[in-house]
């Protein structure tokens, strides 16, 4: 993954951009920075249910930090994935379970500017990530 923004820079950029058309372009550009999954990782087992587009999730654990890899067949969804990855990657399972990602989306006013199906897909993605983190947190 080549994302170099941290959460504070993401928020600052959202604040700087004047309208949602610019913010959508920014989100789509962020999506271009994430490394696509290999075709071998785009399996039924890695597919997240509840997303309008196809979204796949894998992860690794390095020491206590989780590194998620996600990919989608839709440009805007890849951008939303990038926003999620900026918020969660490199955190421990316990940190991810405790993270108020809905609060971040509210702060960015993101869900209000997504279709209902996109918003539900984003929530499904977060639910899956939190489920993975909760499973690993209970094992650690």
Q: Which of 30, 51, 85, 122 is catalytic?
A: 51
Q: Confirm whether 51 is a catalytic residue.
A: yes
Query: Under DSSP, is residue 62 helix (H, G, I), strand (E, B) or coil?
Result: strand
pLDDT at 1 over 50: no
Summarize pLDDT for 29-82 with one digit per residue, the tens. 999 999 999 999 999 999 998 877 899 999 998 888 999 999 999 999 999 999
Summarize pLDDT for 19-28 with one digit per residue, the tens. 999 999 999 9
Length of the chain, please?
140
Alpha helices in the chain (DSSP H): 7-16, 20-33, 75-88, 93-98, 101-108, 116-139
Q: What is the mean pLDDT of the chain?
A: 90
More confident residue, 89 or 59: 59
pTM of the model: 0.91
Say what the pLDDT of residue 124 is.
Answer: 92
Alpha helices in 17-100 (DSSP H): 20-33, 75-88, 93-98
d(CA 2, CA 81): 13
Domains defined for the chain, CATH in brackets: 7-139 (3.90.1010.10)
Say what the pLDDT of residue 52 is.
Answer: 79
Mean pLDDT of 107-129: 90
Half-sphere exposure of 88 (CA within 13 A, CB side): 32
């Amino acid at each position: 993954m080549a994302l170099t923004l941290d959460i504070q820079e993401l928020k600052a950029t959202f604040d700087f951009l004047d309208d949602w058309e610019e913010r959508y372009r920014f989100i789509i550009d962020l999506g271009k920075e994430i490394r696509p999954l290999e075709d071998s990782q785009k399996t039924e087992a890695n597919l997240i249910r509840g997303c309008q587009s196809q979204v796949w999730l894998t992860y690794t654990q390095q020491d206590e930090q989780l590194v998620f890899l996600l990919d989608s067949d839709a440009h805007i969804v890849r951008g939303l994935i990038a926003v999620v990855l900026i918020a969660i990657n490199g955190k421990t399972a316990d940190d991810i379970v405790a993270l108020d990602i809905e609060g971040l989306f509210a702060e960015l006013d993101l869900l209000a500017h997504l279709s209902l199906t996109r918003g539900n897909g984003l929530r499904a993605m977060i639910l899956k990530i939190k489920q993975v983190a909760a499973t690993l947190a209970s094992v650690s």
